Amino acid sequence: MNSTTTQAPAATLKTVIGLEVHAQVLTRSKMYCSCSADYANAEPNTHVCMVCLGLPGALPVMNQQAIETVIRTGLALNCEIPDYCKMDRKNYVYPDLPKGYQISQYDLPLCINGSLEITVDGVTRTAGITRVHIEEDTGRLVHDIAANEGLSLVDLNRSGVPLMEIVGEPDLTTPEEAREYLVALRRILRAIGASTGNMEEGAFRCDANISVRAEDGSFIGPKVEIKNMNSFRAVERALKYEEIRQREAVANGEELFQETRGWVDAQGITVSQRSKEAAHDYRYFPEPDLPPLHISRELVTSIADTVGELPVDRERRFAAELGLSGSDAALLNTERGIADFFEEAIAGNTSNGYPQQVANWLLNDVMGFARTRGMAADEFPINSGQLRELVNLVVGKQLTGTAAKTVLAELAVDESPSAAAERLNLLAMDDNGAVLDAAREAMAAQPAAVADFRSGKQAAIGRLMGETMKRTGGRANADDVRAALLSLLNEE
């Protein structure tokens, strides 16, 4: 048995983590046939053909769009794209794999030697990417429908959907870094349109390797693989649990095994699934039905032109050139759709403080409002032109902040915010006489506050301001209200 028993090492232990991500490649059709890859709402076994059912004699045809998308991913991850790569058969037997093998890549993948920038607690560093290769997804076993009869059913809609495996170097040293690696990776995949990155739907899956070793090399623990983690939070929790389990084992002189463990989310623990000895021997060999690929430099250059500005660069530009706070620049770049909406809304106006005002309204009010309506992060209840006009009305003091929030909530589809403000009678009072009238009424309604203020309690003006604002329906600017009250209070 492959295990390590040890005396607790004298040197400090460090944790070593490497992640393997499987991401479905966003394509119209499957990897080797013309079946639609968009099977999310389909009846079982309706997106299938001879090829993805693995019927004898059916021949695969390479999906060029999938190959180019994986190369684009590799370029976004700073990978080298070798001139030559090939497909290999990975052989194993499982009910969701009709052919008895997966077409994958073994020793010559599409992309190698990349890197990914991650930031944890304000510290930025680079984690290595060993390789990105293409393979095909398997079918799915469905246990719940026929569970009563003790049956499992097979749905092959997913069989043959293009999948890329992104193998990270064992460069990560904490569970927090592992989580941040996944966040950064998914953000890139979504930004370049390579994958939906949707973890709940299984379009983005992660396995982790973790071990502990002594800083001085006097002890190297066996590598433990963890599976079954269905969210970024689960990855972080599973790695934290496993890090502690392994460190305690070492401290107590207990045995550690090279094994695969499954994360049990409900209990917050990992449990042993199989030892290294039981691991598969996949008997890889070159796929005889597909020719090797020669990747021309012209193709790589033309794909590189489609990568576009990466989220981390856009985030830096938002801070450096638009004057946004670092945290807002990061928030706006969690999804490309949000960053695009923001840039449309500012429409090139980078004047002092303006982008930050638009960012405040977008992040706090518009997106907050969208959340209360159950909209997705990159769906918006108004369009970018409406947001721009709304902010401009506030900047131009034609709407108070309070009134603008009401306009936002009441705005009809494609209605101009100024038209809505007029319809709702919310345009700011620029009539000083009307503000003075409201202030007089407020003073009459709150004689105690007036007396307090005149006896030296300056804070009492707050009550009068609130009362005046109420009487103007939130349409008066706070500065105007204060000035009007002060002039009246100091009259006598």
Q: Which of residues 215-244 bind Zn ion (CB under 5 A)?
A: none
Distance in Å, CB of 26 to Zn ion, minimum: 17
> Do residues 382 and 411 lie in contact, with contact meaning Cβ atoms separated by under 8 Å?
yes
Rank residues 29 and 386 by Cβ distance to Zn ion and give the closer one: 29
| Pattern 297-326, Zn ion, x by CB under 5 A | ------------------------------
Restricting to residues 4-43, name those near Zn ion by CB under 5 A. 33, 35
Q: Residue 23 or 52: which CB sits closer to Zn ion?
A: 52
Q: Is 104 helix (H, G, I), strand (E, B) or coil?
A: strand
Q: How far is the CB of 45 from Zn ion (least distance, A)?
A: 11
Amino acid in the structure at residue 158:
R
With contacts defined by CB under 5 A, how many residues of the chain interact with Zn ion? 5
Whether 484 contacts 468, CB under 8 Å: yes
Helix (H, G, I), strand (E, B) or coil at 212: strand
58 binds Zn ion (CB under 5 A): no
- Which residues in 426-465 contact Zn ion (CB under 5 A)? none
For residues 196-219, one letter each, b for 16 or more C-beta atoms within 10 angstroms of the residue's C-beta and e for the rest, the string is bbebeeebbbbbbbbbbbbeeeeb
Rank residues 50 and 375 by Cβ distance to Zn ion and give the closer one: 50
Among residues 51 and 76, whose Cβ is nearest to Zn ion?
Answer: 51
Q: 227: closest CA among 195, 272, 183, 276? A: 272
> Rounded to an integer, what distance in angstroms lies between the CA atom of residue 388 and that of residue 384?
6
Written as six digits, the tokens of 216 are: 């001085």
Binding flag, residue 52, Zn ion (CB under 5 A): yes
Choice between 51 and 97, CB closer to Zn ion = 51
Binding segment for Zn ion (CB under 5 A), chosen from 46-54, 213-221, 227-235, 365-373, is 46-54
Between 51 and 338, CB nearer to Zn ion: 51
**Contact with Zn ion (CB under 5 A): which of 13, 16, 49, 330?**
49
Instruction: Write out the E strands in 201-306.
Output: 204-214, 224-229, 256-257, 259-264, 269-275, 285-286, 293-294
111/106 Cα distance (integer angstroms):
12
CB of residue 48 vs Zn ion: minimum separation in angstroms? 6
Which of 34/152 has CB closer to Zn ion?
34
Residues 6+ apart with CB under 8 A from 423: none
Shortest spacing between CB 296 and Zn ion, in angstroms:
28
Q: List contacts with Zn ion (CB under 5 A).
A: 33, 35, 49, 51-52
